[in-house]
Amino acid sequence: MAKRIKPFLLANGPMLAAIAIFILVYVIGGQLYPNMQKPQVFFNLFINTASLLIVSIGMTFVIITGGIDLSVAGMIAMTSAASAALLAKGASPVLVMPLMLLVGIVFGFTLGCIIHFLKVQPFIVTLMGLFFARGMAYIITLEALPIQNATYRYLALTKVHIPFFANAYVYIPSLVGPLLLLVVIYLSFFTSFGRTVYAIGNNEQSARLMGLPVGRTKIIVYSFGGFCSALAGIVWSISLLSGYGGYAPGMELDAIASVVIGGTLLTGGIGNVIGTLFGVLINGTIVSILQFNGTLSSWWTRIGVGVLTLIFIGVQSLFYMRKKH
């Protein structure tokens, strides 16, 4: 038994640490503010971090391959602005949503192609993607556009009641993230695509020598990242019912921080999406503790997330070193 537990702990240490920290932070919050013990507060985490969760899931794959995607926040802004503009022109949501997803995939595909074929650092390419997407959003509309479409309103305002919890609910958009998570868990653990992603992250050279489709997988991963950002943008525009180029400032950093807190190594190869879920939840919990406190200001979120990232990197390098020995 002990023989099995030790490798398991070593392999999943950072992720387990993330889960432990989440529980710890949540319990501390519950002790400080008894109202936080209500189940609704827990489900609020999913409502508030709906977009961040989706973006972070896409980011996890990208980071596992050893890359990084800084363009996510720009894509969210562009999607929200474009869908608001299209809906204002009278386009049908049935058309707008698939179109946005397609735009996201094409965008991610382009970035992936530049990264793979021109051998440019992902950091620089996706940075260009960020500038480009935000700029396009501002070209579409310079000020925030409201969305008055009936379907969007329905999606935004319908409560989904959680079974077994009285009076607990989430909104429809907040279900997208968890559903996507299930799909991605399947993708990463039960398909050859998922294994290829990990292989590339561990050592791209040997993955190529093993005959794995490195280029194709990398491009698919970035396309998937673009898809996730577009999906997050749709969710964002549904929950805010408006579109604007300045939305989601700095969300790429929140996403990266969540992924890192969730136990994924930025050098690639190690980590999984389940940890990312808890990274996102930790982020959301810090925000809700600040909201419950009321006197603390929002800047403590940034400091808190920064400090947590630091702790996690410490934990990670510790585990990593242990593994090496």
Partner 1 sequence: MKNKTPLLKRMRENRLFWPLVAMALILIIDSIFAPGFFKIGILEGHLYGNLIDVFNNSAPLMLVALGMTLVIATGGVDLSVGAVIAISAGMGAVLINPVFGNQEITNKVAADPNLTNTPLWLVVVVTMVAGILCGLWNGMLVSRAKISPMVATLILMVAGRGIAQLIERGQIMTVYYTPFFWFGNGFILGLPVSTYIVAVMFLLAWVLVRKTSIGLFIESVGINAKSTYYSGISEKNIKLFAYIFCGFCGAIAGLILGSNIKAIDANNIGLNYELDAIFAVVIGGTLMSGGRFSLLASVVGALIIWTFTITMYTFGVPANALLAGRAVLVLVVILLYSDYARLLMNKIFERKGSQHGEAN
Per-position b or e across 191-227, b if 16+ CB within 10 A of its CB: eebbebbbbbbbebeebeeeebebeebbbbbbbbbbb
Q: How far apart are CA 276 and CA 324, in angstroms?
A: 24
Q: Is 302 in the site for partner 1 (CB under 8 A)?
A: yes
Degrees, nearest 5: CA angle 212-215-218: 100
Q: Which is nearer to partner 1, 27 or 120 (CB)?
A: 120
Per-residue tokens: 316: 């990670």
Chain positions 65 to 84 lying near partner 1, rule: CB under 8 A, are 68
Binding mask 207-226 for partner 1 (x = CB under 8 A): --------------------
Q: Is 85 in the site for partner 1 (CB under 8 A)?
A: no
Which SS3 state, helix, strand or coil, does residue 161 take?
Answer: strand
Binding-site size, partner 1 (CB under 8 A): 44
Pick the binder of partner 1 from 307, 318, 322, 323 (CB under 8 A).
307
Backbone angles phi, psi at 242, to 5 degrees: -160, 170
Chain positions 223 to 252 lying near partner 1, rule: CB under 8 A, are 245-246
CB of 152 to partner 1, least distance (A): 25
Q: How far apart are CA 325 and CA 319, in angstroms?
A: 10
Q: Is 322 in the site for partner 1 (CB under 8 A)?
A: no
Pick the binder of partner 1 from 91, 106, 187, 313 (CB under 8 A).
313
Q: Is 305 in the site for partner 1 (CB under 8 A)?
A: yes
Degrees, nearest 5: CA angle 186-74-280: 45
CB of 54 to partner 1, least distance (A): 20
Residues 293, 33 contacting (CB under 8 angstroms): yes
Pick the binder of partner 1 from 30, 38, 99, 138 (CB under 8 A).
138
Pick the binder of partner 1 from 14, 58, 112, 129 (CB under 8 A).
129
Q: Which is nearer to partner 1, 11 or 311 (CB)?
A: 311
Q: How far apart are CA 151 and CA 149, in angstroms?
A: 6
Chain positions 109 to 128 lying near partner 1, rule: CB under 8 A, are 114, 117-121, 123-125, 127-128
Degrees, nearest 5: CA angle 57-312-21: 80
* Residues in contact with 93: Cβ distance below 8 Å, sequence separation at least 6, in sequence order: 87, 149, 151, 152
Contacts with partner 1 by CB under 8 A lie at 68, 114, 117-121, 123-125, 127-132, 134-136, 138-139, 142, 245-246, 253, 256-257, 260, 266-267, 297, 299-303, 305-307, 309-310, 313-314, 317
